[in-house]
Amino acid sequence: MNGPVACLDIDYFYAQAEELRNPAIRDKPIVVCVYSGRTPDSGVVATSNYVARRYGVRSGIPIWRAKELLRGVDAVFLPVDMPYYSALSHQVFEIAGRFADVIEVASIDEAFLSLLEVAAGSFENAARLMESLKKEIRARTGLTCSIGIAKNKLLAKMAADDSKPDGLLVIRPGTEDQYLKPKPVEDIPYVGVKTAKRLRDMGIKTIGDLVNTPSDKLMEVFGFRVGRFIYLASRGEYFEQVTPRGEAKQMSRMITLKRQTRDEAEIWGQLAGAIRELHRRVIELGYGFKGVSLIGVTRGMKPVTKSMALPHQTQEITELENVSRQLLRALLSGLEEELRRIGVRVYDLSSERGQSRLTDF
pLDDT digits (tens, 9 = 90+) for 196-240: 999 999 999 999 999 999 999 999 999 999 999 999 999 999 999
- Residue 32 identity (one-letter amino acid): V
Which pLDDT belongs to residue 357? 33
pLDDT value of residue 249 = 65
Burial of residue 100 (CB within 10 Å: 0-12, 13-18, 19+) is buried
Reported residue count of the chain is 361
Q: What is the pLDDT of residues 124-149, one digit of tens each?
A: 999 999 999 999 999 999 999 999 99
Q: Where are the alpha helices (DSSP H) in 70-166?
A: 82-97, 123-141, 153-162
Q: How far is residue 111's CA from residue 17's CA, in Å, rounded to a whole number?
A: 17
pLDDT at 252: 86
Where are the extended beta strands (E) located within 188-286? 250-261
Q: Please report, in tens digits, the pLDDT of each residue of the chain (361 residues total).
A: 677 999 999 999 999 999 999 999 999 999 999 998 888 899 999 999 999 999 999 999 999 999 999 999 999 999 999 999 999 999 999 899 889 988 999 999 999 999 998 898 999 999 999 999 999 999 999 999 999 999 999 999 999 999 999 999 999 999 999 999 999 999 999 998 899 999 999 999 999 999 999 999 999 999 999 999 999 999 999 999 998 775 456 788 889 999 999 999 999 999 999 999 999 988 887 889 999 999 999 988 888 889 998 988 899 999 999 999 999 999 999 898 999 999 999 988 886 443 333 333 3
pLDDT for residue 246: 55
pLDDT at 153: 97
Closest of 47, 46, 89, 40 to residue 64, by C-alpha: 40
Q: For residue 205, give the nearest of 219, 187, 222 by alpha carbon.
A: 187
Q: Go through 328-358 and write b for each residue having 16 or more CB atoms within 10 A of its CB, e for each that does not.
A: beebbeeeeebbbbbbbbbbebeeeeeeeeb
Instruction: From the candidates 104, 110, 117, 321, give the one annotated as an active-site residue.
Output: 110
Active site residue 110: yes
In the chain the domains, ranked by start, together with CATH numbers, are 1-173 (3.30.70.270), 177-234 (1.10.150.20), 250-351 (3.30.1490.100)
E strand or H helix that includes residue 205: none
Q: Who's near 69: CB < 8 A, 6+ residues apart?
A: 55, 56, 57
